[in-house]
Structure 1
């Protein structure tokens, strides 16, 4: 796909780029943490900072040291984050770098083609366009689709658990947590089984572009992914299947009245490669660590497997592996007594919202019987609530229940290694040893 230079738009249009807030912060805080730093989650979620800042302010200003990025407001209250999420007409996902804190470098460093592809990602869209894209993918991620793929997931998880040997150290991520989400993703996209490992590896590399382990490999990888995606899409033109990419190429191929803009195929494929499996595998890994670190909760679940659905909701709330998403104010407004100027960035800190004491009693306690665990915002809410949340829940509960029923104990042999990124709490490796 080629984008004409004349069609290029200002990547920061409608976003303020001057440093600092227009209005003085009502709640000054001692920040002590940089949410933009690539090493923000190298030790896992910074829960001490979450509590300290949540106790101090419902909203606070966070500076930045990046060209064209002026800083942003951070929301810590469940109620405010719900409000922002459910009002896309006032808080946009399409301005600047969209839902991300900022562009990787500068938006002006992107070619017109790169920018068009970046913005043709449904995560970076507002309604009504976002609804068109969501309507395209939901038949492959919603309830009926989840029922169809359930047997595939159960079979794969059963195979994996059966292959793991007790009393022998292994990497929980690569040997268990990452495999089923990868298989599921490739099934949804219609990717041939022989390419599954490559697709998962590409997703890991792009997600870790700021991590020294992946940085070199990430350079230029977008082009390789785009080429693979288009080759696969062209095959599906000739032999369409019952998969998401076949449906997307059918819609994209409409010359008149088509709802997908230029760059949408690359944007959709890249989004699925990066986000289609990582959050599920991270939550599965975190969930197993939580359960084995809380033996009373583990035994409660073993003795009453019917608690698995609520246990998954509590794991999602407690782990919150996607800690932040951003919006941009389209007009002057106010939240929790703080004036926010048009064009300023507003970051929803889900980690804080999921520990809001006004919503969750004793929020720093892990409790799989928590009555309102499902009130968490780990999947977001409103227009941009995670489209694959039902599928993710199925994979997480299947993986966790099968694993804990097979292994009585799980010892952490080596502390988890976290991905160096400011977008997710993501475990690269976790060496464990299980006992029967």
Structure 2
């Protein structure tokens, strides 16, 4: 390793040294020794840095073979659980620097490295980072970095791109985007359409097709398996981005401050707070709100009305479509409609994303064990969510005449299984 960087080392010697290291890391004890005692990752980072400057500047291909060997060494080393645990506790910064160099090569647009291997290393780094203590440094990607990953992959045909799902996983692992309302609407729309296509294609059994007649809410479907689908993960990411992004737009607010306030117990209190703040900080983009709402609604439909993300999805839709009080002033009907909507919101708890203890997890939804509701209370909340979702679907379609026909659709909510659930509870209590 020392000879590799000396002036006496030629190209052939460097190639042999990398091959020796590639063989060495196959032995677990040797790999562990090289990482802990010989600073293998900083050494590899310096090599990547050298390759990057040459390849990106002059587009020379003489280092392509060596670069592939370096990536393979990294991939093999971090696949060891013991080494991953050591990095997590002691030295993730070393891997973070190396991954940053890989990221630059990946998004350069010059196809210099194997995208599949590079994405796997980025994903491994992000997963190790998520397991670290909150006070330790973490590996993060900015919103612009995430968009560059999408651009690097989206140039290929979605149906043929084997790396698209890995790219989307890397983006979702990075956590919700707090600046989602600051993004260019055209870019954001393009990204969400791509992400939705990848998510639905990765779960063909859950794929949903729009009806020619318009929007339709599948009331009885559930997610196909116990394992959370990729579509559900994308919906969790998007709703969390909207909820946190909506609140972060108010300069005087923060998630922890909002959650600590005693009056923010229900979705109604949250809606009233956001409406007040929006009035004082009138910087909204209705087109962006409606585009995001349509995307949330589409993803929620693909999962079914009983999906585990329903409460967060309804909260995000409400913040996007119903938080502007000016839409409901004027006619007696609109004021009455606002009242009925807020009645439903008062039966729904604040979304879990507002809990100070909430953290993003790609693997599974975060569960709040601090407030356990009775089964009857859960039924009331689920009924309210389902009824409010039907209302929001009408709002999204911009067909005010359908507001008056909402009661005609409410009988469909019973078909979702809530009525049978409630009947079973009451029967068991009577017995």
TM-score range, shorter chain: under 0.3
- State the TM-score, normalized to the length of structure 1: 0.21
Higher helix share: 2
Q: Which has the higher contact order (CA 8 A, sep 6+)?
A: 1
Higher strand share: 1
- State the TM-score, normalized to the length of structure 2: 0.21
